[in-house]
Structure 1
């Protein structure tokens, strides 16, 4: 199976190259015209050069991380498995390039894959959120779901990552959900999340509260909203940062950039700070990562794995940190941060923040100011 890869960023669509499956190996080669563009979509693991490339370590079943970032994960994989089971197949039998073909032009970020499997557009309203949330719980529990509702959830999911159920919708300025694909685009693209089977009904309210605290603490948090529900305090929604004025933006996770699996602890905050400095070459972006480090630790968000840190490629082909996401408290493994600070996963103190930040020459005074702002925002939220 062969696929053509395109970068459709800021309204311009460019042919990136070709993916091919060959003898249990996935090969990739850049198109000559894309090499001439100088756009480096994955500078560490897939730098611009003309030869045929493969990943011998097969971190992502042979895919390079930048393409693996396009694939659904967690909830999206569960939906895909249910859909394939209906057709008498299985997720195990669905090869990586087949999954990318299913993503097609509907993935997160700006990469597109052809030939793509056909996908119909689905519309939804606020009034349907409770029904979709209940069907999501049924799928998580492996209970039967109406075929039409399953198809709707699959189409509304796109290729979003993460474990929690979610849908992709367009939202108007007054927070009405507006139909997708009906004439001219209306509203802006948002993600609305539902709770997982093990989470309490107030999960959406909790994530909304922490999104407000993050914004108050100075983090770059997109617009958020608590969508109404008759069965819970509400559903958390957040505006997508991979869409700007109706155009796609290239997004790359730390997981994909470094081939650092998110399924196990694979990064430290020191490595993330060095990555940010090396990739962006901008101390302002490094300070954003310092602030996120402090917020995650102080708020008890221990689910700080490699897919929960992303970077954007702007119109000038410069990298910057993406807005923050997935900022709710979580237990982690044995109560420890997935991403360590100063070689510690718990009992992290100001001294540890200072030591981590010092590895990229961020001074102690700046770090202490960030800690004070984060602590004040979290204290205000808990009043």
Structure 2
């Protein structure tokens, strides 16, 4: 007998996710396919086909869940299901996922479809927010508590929780039912010194250099340093807060989330360029944005830029756009062996950051079907602009020793890259 979850968007049935004999399947509702504003769950599950098999459904569904196996194990214990069964986990946390789709058991779906879904916000005191953040530091699986009505799932490996923030008062609350979360809070667990400052700095730097990046800030909640990131898959339209659909590139390419790194079978940059070229509503602009993000990560030593850390926004009428940057982090301020630092995707056939030079970028440009001179010019321009931009952001920050080191290391690397690639350009012209 099949188990069923209704896939809903804004009170409409998008389709049904089913599980039978441990095989997943998804079928679009005909009324959804007929809508002019319909969008697919995933580019790997086009609307042109009603029914989609386990081979593409499983990577999409698994990609909605955390990457951390320990979190999944704890969830399995809490919900009395197998941590290796993404369907049964989603049955407990699927009402608030990345993107616009809510996965709701049939027995709970009637109010949504009748236009009267459960909604609202349970407001938290500052002390209650601090208690939740500190509990998350102790156990990253407790992003929500058992009694909370608003259960949710966030993909990724980092500990995080999602809450609703009142735009006027700044108050935090737990939304439920049709009400979405607005912000993601990621506490510093002590794995990396000042990681929250690092990520916020890199997001600011990306934006300063012209990339679209998620808006963020840092604060101390209770005793815990936290980075707060505004969700780009939520938007206010006509006074309403709505969910915006998105998927990461593992989902879009039908790859399991555990294969997010290229050297583990994950997507290469070439595959992402191809997908953008074939599906983006503004392919040229999004190709340039993705290229700039690759260059940015190369310059800052962003070693975790795998396929799950790039996403697409999907909307009606076949609109597809590259999502803003998120989860940006530099390895440069931490102790590391320079000749062992690897990128998540190859550039010109190599992962090792120290090895990658002009020849690798020329080879990569050919693989990506881009003009090598254009690629090098964009790299030189960004490397030239980065030191001053980094210094300006650092000067406006708290001036901590970590910030000073981060700024110094990024300035040094960007300047070295600018000198190297500028010299090769002059040599080629000679």
Greater Cα shift, 353-362 or 317-326: 353-362
Match of 1:242 among 230, 233, 236: 233
Count of aligned pairs between the two proteins: 362
Equivalent positions of 1:141-220 (< 5 A) are 151=145, 158-173=152-167, 176-181=170-175, 189-200=182-193, 202-220=194-212
1:108 aligned partner: 98
Q: Provide the C-alpha distance between the structure 1 equivalents of 2:148 and 2:387, rounded to a whole number of angstroms.
A: 39
Deviations 1:46-77 (A, max 9, x none): 22345643235xx7xxx3433333x32135x6
Greater Cα shift, 126-135 or 285-294: 126-135
Q: 1:354 to 1:21 in 2, by over 3 A?
A: same
Match of 2:250 among 244, 252, 255: 255
Higher helix proportion: 2
Q: 1:86 to 1:6 in 2, by over 3 A?
A: closer
Q: Provide the C-alpha distance between the structure 1 equivalents of 2:121 and 2:13, rounded to a whole number of angstroms.
A: 25
Report the Cα offset of residue 13 of structure 1: 4.0
| Other structure's SS at 1:345 match | strand
Match of 2:89 among 99, 122, 145: 99
* Structure 1: gaps of 5 or more residues: none
Could you say what the CA RMSD is over the residues aligned between the two structures, in angstroms? 3.6
Q: 1:114 to 1:53 in 2, by over 3 A?
A: same
Report the Cα offset of residue 123 of structure 1: 3.9
Q: Provide the C-alpha distance between the structure 2 equivalents of 1:30 and 1:116, rounded to a whole number of angstroms.
A: 15
Q: TM-score, normalised by structure 1?
A: 0.80
Deviations 1:215-241 (A, max 9, x none): 112110122111234646x31111101
Maintained 8 Å contact 2:97/2:154: yes
Equivalent positions of 1:6-45 (< 5 A) are 6-8=7-9, 12-37=10-35, 39-41=38-40, 44-45=43-44
Maintained 8 Å contact 2:95/2:151: no
Q: Provide the C-alpha distance between the structure 2 equivalents of 1:226 and 1:117, rounded to a whole number of angstroms.
A: 40
1:363 aligned partner: 371
2:382 aligned partner: 374
Greater Cα shift, 101-110 or 369-378: 369-378
Maintained 8 Å contact 1:65/1:256: yes
Q: Provide the C-alpha distance between the structure 2 equivalents of 1:259 and 1:235, rounded to a whole number of angstroms.
A: 33
Q: 1:22 to 1:156 in 2, by over 3 A?
A: closer
Q: TM-score, normalised by structure 2?
A: 0.72
Q: Provide the C-alpha distance between the structure 2 equivalents of 1:153 and 1:352, rounded to a whole number of angstroms.
A: 53
Report the Cα offset of residue 169 of structure 1: 2.0
Report the Cα offset of residue 339 of structure 1: 1.2
| Other structure's SS at 2:258 match | coil
Q: Provide the C-alpha distance between the structure 1 equivalents of 2:231 and 2:309, rounded to a whole number of angstroms.
A: 14
1:295 aligned partner: 296
Maintained 8 Å contact 2:82/2:88: no
2:402 aligned partner: none
2:415 aligned partner: none
Q: Provide the C-alpha distance between the structure 1 equivalents of 2:299 and 2:227, rounded to a whole number of angstroms.
A: 21
Maintained 8 Å contact 2:312/2:321: yes
Greater Cα shift, 149-158 or 357-366: 149-158
Maintained 8 Å contact 2:62/2:256: no
Maintained 8 Å contact 2:67/2:257: no
* Structure 2: gaps of 5 or more residues: 109-117, 391-406, 409-430
Report the Cα offset of residue 316 of structure 1: 4.0
